[in-house]
Amino acid sequence: MKKTLVFALIVLAVAGLNASTKFKMELWNRWTMETVDGDIVENELAVKRGYFRLEPQFSSNIKGRFNLDFFSDDGAADGVGMKLKYAYLDFAVLPITDSKLTIGLMKTYFGTIYDWDYQVIEKDPSDKYKFVSSTDYGIGISGYFPSGFGTYNFAAYNGEGYKKTGSDINKDLNFAADVRITPMVGVTLGGSYYFMTKNNAEVDTTLAGNGPLVDNPAREQYNMFAGMGKLAFGDFSLLGQYLMKTKSLPNVDGADDINTTVMSFMPKYKINNSFDVIGRYDMYDPNTDNDDDAYNVLVVGLNYNVVRDSKNNPTLFFQLNYETTMYEDSDKDPVNQIMLQMRWIFSEVLGS
Amino acid sequence: MKKLLFVIMMIAAMVAFAKKGDQITMVGSTTVLPIAQATAEAFMEMNPDMNISVRGGGSGVGVAGIIAGTCDIGNASRHIKNKELLQAKQNGVEAYENVVANDGIAVIVHKSNPVKDLTIDQLQKIYTGEIMNWKEVGGPSMPIVLVSRDVSSGTYETFETKVLKKEKLAASSLMLASNNAVATTVKDTKGAVGYVGIGYLSDNVNDVRINGITVSEKTIQDRTYPIARTLHMYTKGKPEGKVKKYIDFVLSPKGQAIVEEMGFVKVSK
């Protein structure tokens, strides 16, 4: 009840205060069936996501985005949940053409997580393999290079993402840098770097909580790199990514670094304006020093775009995906999933 | 059963890969629309085997059509934006700009309005709501009624760039979906000011000199008129085949004569 009231108040406030506000709703209705060794372990119908978005245009150079993320499935407490996903303002006030300053709960500029459009139902690799959270509280500068040459993004973040809880609050700032270039038609290359320190550098370890602050030995430091390349020729495209994460414990003498790697390929073929066939193959190794913890994920999918808007963006489409996870550990059976998802989107601009 | 499945698959494949034949699809700017329609008709008369479908939607729709590869020609009354150019390149599409005509955005007032001259600065203040009465610019004491194109139109974007210059349009503005609607509203409303492509000027309204310059073919071509622009037909790469044949026709003396008939200004060689 309280949530509904807050939500209604926000909608009314934003709609009432701004002459031009874009409303958008996107829903993902999904059926999932998961099998292991021939046994059905999950068979679920759910609303996996319901995004409600408001984009108020305060002036020609100040624009906001506010996103509520609803979900209704058996993975959430009480079977339903709501989170604030985006809450930021873009200020196009910098003395650089095609640039903006962003402040608030914003996109995380790493790899392809910030423009992942779910051509397959599965998440972006950085998101799926827990490199970074898709959004975080921060401040950043983004822009376009001239002549369609590419984009750049630099940002500083809180570091705990948008699903923070009391114990997760991170006092250390995190930093991201991301550059993508398109030197010629159909060829895009990009690289990202993310520096993260997790948890506070110092803690009070006394029971009474009034002792001196001392070094926190559990403090974690992450250096993350992402390289991406995309080729697009005619109706065919291929996206490739390589992610690398090094986790260190700088306050613990002799602690070994842990290296995590992901390699992902995603080919796509557009049969016509209605149908796309898509594949994806991920190779994930959470610790390159271990021999039995890696796994590979294969996805085969078909997208059926039923309705598109005037700018050819799909507004109603079906996604059929088969996903299988194959483990390096020979004792583990592959996990197979069939997912059928119906995504539908509607939007309206109110005011002038 | 197997045979039936085979037949269904064959039909699906034929539908999926069916060639469009000698068909050209054009979408986009409502400003370019009359040029596109008239030249397409003339071209089809000369080439009876060709079929050209023309649709409006706005410049953004035209450029999006080229980026997505859903049309052969995307019409736009503005240049492609840097962001759109990048999207096209990332999609493996070279958005090639063909300038097919020139246009001036004429500022129009009601026939009874004696105001003949405005500066860009005054026009900006009028459209941002700072100047609200005609007496502030040498006219009679009469409230100004603001008439504008909708924000998705290329005409609005050009007006925003050349007149508003990042300032916000007054909330009281009437946002209309076509040049015709703007011209009609100004004709019927005493205190109204509006802006339309030069092709939509008529004796029913008065046009206003901007910075002392009258909108005309000459002032648009020599770029002295301050609210002038080029009109474009974007193609996927340099035009080839049937699309080249059509674009060549639009740029030919016969095509450019149609451009002038539609009230626009031909491309200077």
Q: What is the pLDDT of residue A5?
A: 46
A chain contacts of residue B127, beta-carbon cutoff 8 Å: none
Q: d(Cα B266, Cα B77) in Å, to the nearest integer? A: 14
Q: Cβ neighbours of residue B55 under 8 Å, at least 6 residues apart? A: B25, B26, B27, B28
pLDDT at site A184? 96
The answer to whether A211 faces chain B, any CB pair under 8 Å, is no
pLDDT at residue A217, rounded to an integer: 66
Domains in chain A: how many in total? Answer: 1
**B17 to chain A: which residues are within 8 Å by CB?**
272
Q: How far is B257 from chain A (nearest CA, A)?
A: 31
Cβ count within 10 A of residue B130: 12
C-alpha span between A77 and A28 (Å, rounded)? 19
Average pLDDT, chain A: 89
Going by pLDDT thresholds of 50, 70 and 90, the confidence category of residue A72 is: confident
Closest to B195 in 3D by CA, of B212, B174, B172, B213? B174
Encode A46-85: b = buried (16+ Cβ within 10 Å), e = exposed.
Answer: bebbbbbbbbbbbeeeebbbbbbbbbbbeeeeeeeebeeb
Write down the residue that tokens 């209704």 correspond to.
A72
Alpha-carbon distances, residue A7 vs A39, A76, A199, A348 (angstroms): 41, 19, 31, 18
Q: Which two tokens stand for residue A192?
A: 């990202």
Report if residue A52 sits inside a domain. Answer: yes
Which residue from B65, B94, B167 is facing A312, i.e. has the nearest CB? B65
Q: Can you give the residue range of the structural domain that contains A40?
A: 2-168+175-183+259-350
Task: Walk me through the domains of chain B, giving residue ranges and CATH numbers.
Answer: 7-102+230-261 (3.40.190.10), 103-228 (3.40.190.10)
Of the candidate ranges A16-25, A58-67, B181-190, the one whose mean pLDDT is the lowest: A16-25
Query: In this structure, what DSSP letter does residue B116 have?
Result: -
Measured in angstroms, the CA of B254 and the nearest CA of chain A are apart by 32
Q: From CA A8, how far away is CA A11, in angstroms rounded?
A: 5
Closest CA in chain A for residue B83: A148
**What is the distance between the alpha carbons of residues A141 and A153, in angstroms, rounded to a whole number?**
6
Contacts B90 to A, Cβ<8 Å: 182, 186, 188, 230, 232
pLDDT classification of A263: cutoffs 50, 70, 90: very high
| Cβ-proximal residues to B3 (8 Å cutoff; 6+ apart), any chain | none
Q: Is B137 on the interface with A (CB under 8 A)?
A: no
Using CA atoms, how far apart are residues A167 and A23, in angstroms rounded to an integer? 34
CB atoms < 10 A from the CB of A119, how many?
16
Chain B residue with CA closest to A143: the answer is B83
In a domain, A205, yes or no: no
A342: enclosing H helix or E strand? strand A335-350
Any domain includes A8: yes
Helix (H, G, I), strand (E, B) or coil at B12: helix
pLDDT of amino acid A82? 87
In chain B, residues with a C-beta closer than 8 Å to the C-beta of A119 are: none
What are the C-alpha distances in Å from A222 to residues A171, A198, A211, A249, B119?
15, 8, 29, 9, 58
In the structure, what pLDDT confidence band is assigned to residue A160 with cuts at 50, 70 and 90? Answer: confident
A166 touches chain B (CB under 8 A): no
pLDDT of amino acid A14: 54
For residue A247, is it within any domain? no
Confidence (pLDDT) at A283: 98
* The pLDDT value given to residue A1: 44
CA distance B174 to A71: 40
Is residue A248 within 8 A of residue A220, CB to CB? The reply is yes
H/E stretch holding B180: helix B179-188
Nearest-by-Cβ selection for A310 from B16, B57, B94: B57
Give the Cα separation of B140 and B110 in Å (integer): 12
CB atoms within 10 A of CB A111: 29
Q: How confident is the model at residue A11 (pLDDT cuts 50, 70, 90)?
A: low
Report pTM.
Answer: 0.82
Tally A–B CB contacts below 8 A. 79
Shortest distance, CA A231 to any CA of chain B (angstroms): 8
Q: What is the pLDDT of residues B59-116, one digit of tens each?
A: 999 999 999 988 999 999 999 999 999 999 999 999 999 999 998 899 999 999 999 9
* Minimal CA separation from A283 to chain B, in Å: 25
Q: B91 CB near a chain A CB, below 8 Å?
A: yes
In angstroms, the CA B76 to CA B229 distance is 11
Nearest Cα residue in chain B from A352: B171
Q: Is residue A244 part of a domain?
A: no
Q: With contacts defined as CB-CB under 8 Å, which chain A residues touch B88?
A: 148, 185
pLDDT at residue B19, as a whole number: 47
- Measured between CB atoms, which of B16, B93, B168 is closest to A275? B16
* Whether the predicted interface score ipTM is above 0.90: no
Give alpha helix (H) positions in chain A: 2-17, 125-128
All residues of chain B having their beta carbon less than 8 Å from the beta carbon of residue A313 are 64
Q: How far apart are CA A270 and CA B72, in angstroms?
A: 17
A201 in any annotated domain: no
Q: What residues of A are in contact with residue B86 (Cβ under 8 Å)? A: 144, 148-151, 182
Q: Which residues of chain A are within 8 Å of residue B60 when distances are taken between CB atoms? A: 311
* Interface with chain A: mutation pick from B59, B82, B127, B156, highest number of A CBs within 10 Å: B82
How far apart (Å, rounded) are the C-alpha atoms in residues B141 and A168?
64
pLDDT of residue B124: 96
* Residue carrying structure tokens 């080439």: B47
Which parts of chain B have pLDDT scores under 70? 1-21, 269
| Å between A142 CA and nearest CA of chain B | 12
Q: How far apart are CA B265 and CA B71, in angstroms?
A: 26
Residue A81: per-residue pLDDT: 85
**Which residue on chain A is closest to B68 by alpha carbon?**
A312
Q: Could you give the CA distance from residue B115 to residue B220 in angstroms, rounded to a whole number?
A: 22
Pairing of strands B73-76, B23-28: parallel
Mean pLDDT of A252-280: 93
CA distance, residue B262 to nearest chain A CA (Å):
26
* A93 Cα to chain B: minimum distance (Å): 10
The pLDDT value given to residue B90: 96
**Looking at beta carbons, which residues of chain B come within 8 Å of A148?**
82, 84-86, 88-89
What SS3 class is residue A143? strand
Q: Which of B86, B146, B164, B173 to mutate to test the interface with A (most CBs of A within 10 A)?
A: B86
Residue A19: partners with Cβ closer than 8 Å, 6 or more residues away: A57, A351, A352, B171
What's A280's domain CATH number?
2.40.160
> Which member of B82, B92, B151 has the closest CB to residue A233?
B92
The region of weakest confidence among A201-210, A221-230, B235-244 is: A201-210
